[in-house]
């Protein structure tokens, strides 16, 4: 595909809509059919604003779901300190709840519009952002093209490209280049991500490190934590967190393999998607294990085998109940989940080998001894058994993980430096308008 043809294709796409572009068709279908959404705010998906635009400059920041939202919260707070208005969009109800809990009315929250011209245009007509900051891998052609047509600077922060996404874009290299040239700056998570963005035509590209490292540990309600610790007592524990289909059963099988060797063993399973809890509870109970569900308020008793953490926003609670955590989407699924939260809470990290989406974080943890990868259920059982048996080795691994996270910090400062040329003019404009208003 020639560069000239690619540009013509993208121009046509701006007016033809999502059906003309195969890379985002599945995404639009997913967004349109999302079952779990705030029905009272569904109009926001079509770009119909739920709030008035404030006076003065506005920065639009977008973070797709909970992980991305948590990652950008320190960045949002730093920008708010400059006195500039922020409209924060997210794609899920859970991420909206996180934004409300952590930022409150300091920002204006909206659900991100569908990547269709009418919705995006309606959104931009209302909010008229002076700068757009997009987190991680949220690369949606219509939004990028519409912002580009309006000459709104766009900066991708904490940018990453998974192996699959990179291969997909490489097949359409000319389209990628014609699209990515609309980005004023890409601030990538790692050297690998930076090289990938450069090869696809993004300019300029800098590397900041992972913003998720500069977040605070996930919180926990101290009263609830104390109550659960009293129920558990001195029992040995381990957790399987952010698990995907198949990994919960693996964790239950590991428990069955180890509970006679470690008397009183309690296994904590925290599925990535708590809406699967009903089926998981039936499946695990069918294995002859006694299970209690956090969402039901069930008490942990002496004969409880499994605590099913089927709640949202309590990862900090579950991680504080153990010193060993297997991080999911890595054994029966691909890509991995974020190992930084358990590491920063001084938890020994275990994972499967499919951790491509967090390659650099895992590499750093592996190099320091803060994490270990396992290839299957039996190897996971062996690793959990070793850590439960060897307190000194477990504590050494826990300390190594926490130290590694501390060494990796600094992404926020790097990102703010990259954003400074775009934010400072807005700060000046805001102050001048404030002075004229007085």
CA–CA separation, 236 and 214 (whole Å) = 31
* List 68, 136, 138, 247, catalytic entry: 68
Q: Tell whether the torsion through CA atoms of 113, 115, 117 and 118 is positive or negative.
A: negative
Catalytic-residue membership of 334: no
Q: For residue 204, is the peptide bond before it cis, meaning its omega torsion is within 30 degrees of 0?
A: yes
Structure tokens at 100: 């409300």
Supply the angle between the helices 173-180 and 163-171 in degrees, to the nearest 10.
100
Nearest to 136, CA basis, from 71, 86, 84, 51: 71
Beta-bridge partners for 156: 134, 186
Which H or E run includes 337?
none
Q: Are 99 and 90 in contact (CB under 8 A)?
A: yes
SS3 at position 277:
helix
Strand ranges in 367-437 using DSSP code E only, listed in sequence order: 371-373
SS3 at position 327:
strand
Structure tokens at 330: 């890595």
Structure tokens at 241: 């967190």
Q: What share of the chain is helix, strand, coil (3-state, %, to 5)?
A: 55, 15, 35
Q: DSSP secondary-structure letter at 274?
A: G
SS3 at position 303:
coil
Nearest to 235, CA basis, from 333, 159, 301: 301
**Catalytic site residues?**
68
């Amino acid at each position: 595909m020639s560069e000239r043809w690619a540009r013509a294709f993208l121009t046509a796409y701006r007016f033809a809509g999502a059906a003309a572009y195969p890379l985002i068709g599945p995404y639009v279908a997913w967004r349109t059919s999302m079952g779990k959404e705030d029905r009272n705010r569904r109009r926001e998906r079509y770009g119909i604003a739920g709030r008035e635009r404030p006076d003065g400059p506005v920065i639009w920041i977008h973070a797709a779901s909970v992980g991305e939202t948590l990652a950008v919260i320190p960045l949002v707070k730093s920008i708010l300190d400059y006195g500039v208005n922020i409209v924060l969009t997210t794609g899920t109800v859970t991420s909206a709840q996180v934004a409300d809990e952590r930022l409150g009315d300091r920002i204006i929250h909206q659900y991100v519009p569908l990547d269709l011209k009418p919705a995006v245009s309606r959104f931009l007509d209302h909010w008229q952002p002076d700068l757009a900051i997009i987190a991680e891998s949220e690369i949606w052609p219509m939004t990028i093209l519409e912002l580009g047509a309006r000459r709104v600077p766009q900066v991708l922060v904490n940018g990453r490209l998974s192996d699959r996404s990179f291969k997909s874009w490489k097949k359409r290299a000319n389209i990628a280049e014609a699209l990515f040239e609309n980005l004023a700056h890409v601030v990538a998570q790692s050297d690998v991500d930076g090289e990938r963005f450069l090869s696809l035509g993004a300019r300029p590209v800098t590397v900041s490190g992972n913003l998720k490292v500069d977040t605070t540990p996930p919180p926990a309600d101290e009263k609830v934590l104390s109550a659960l610790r009293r129920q558990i007592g001195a029992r040995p524990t381990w957790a399987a967190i952010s698990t995907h289909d198949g990994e919960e059963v693996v964790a239950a099988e590991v428990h069955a393999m180890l509970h006679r060797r470690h008397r009183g063993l309690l296994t904590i399973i925290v599925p990535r998607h708590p809406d699967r809890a009903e089926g998981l509870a039936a499946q695990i109970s069918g294995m002859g294990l006694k299970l209690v569900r956090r969402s039901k308020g069930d008490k942990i008793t002496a004969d409880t085998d499994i605590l099913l953490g089927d709640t949202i926003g309590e990862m900090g609670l579950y991680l504080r109940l153990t010193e060993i955590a297997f991080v999911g989407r890595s054994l029966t699924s691909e890509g991995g989940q974020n190992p930084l939260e358990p590491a920063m809470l001084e938890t020994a990290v275990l994972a499967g080998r499919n951790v491509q989406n967090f390659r650099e974080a895992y590499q750093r943890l592996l190099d320091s001894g803060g994490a270990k990868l396992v290839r299957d259920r039996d190897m996971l059982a062996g690793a959990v058994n070793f850590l439960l048996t060897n307190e000194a080795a477990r504590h050494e691994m826990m300390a190594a993980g926490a130290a590694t996270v501390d060494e990796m910090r600094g992404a926020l400062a790097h990102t703010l430096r990259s954003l400074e040329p775009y934010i400072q003019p807005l700060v000046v404009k805001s102050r001048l308008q404030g002075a004229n208003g007085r």
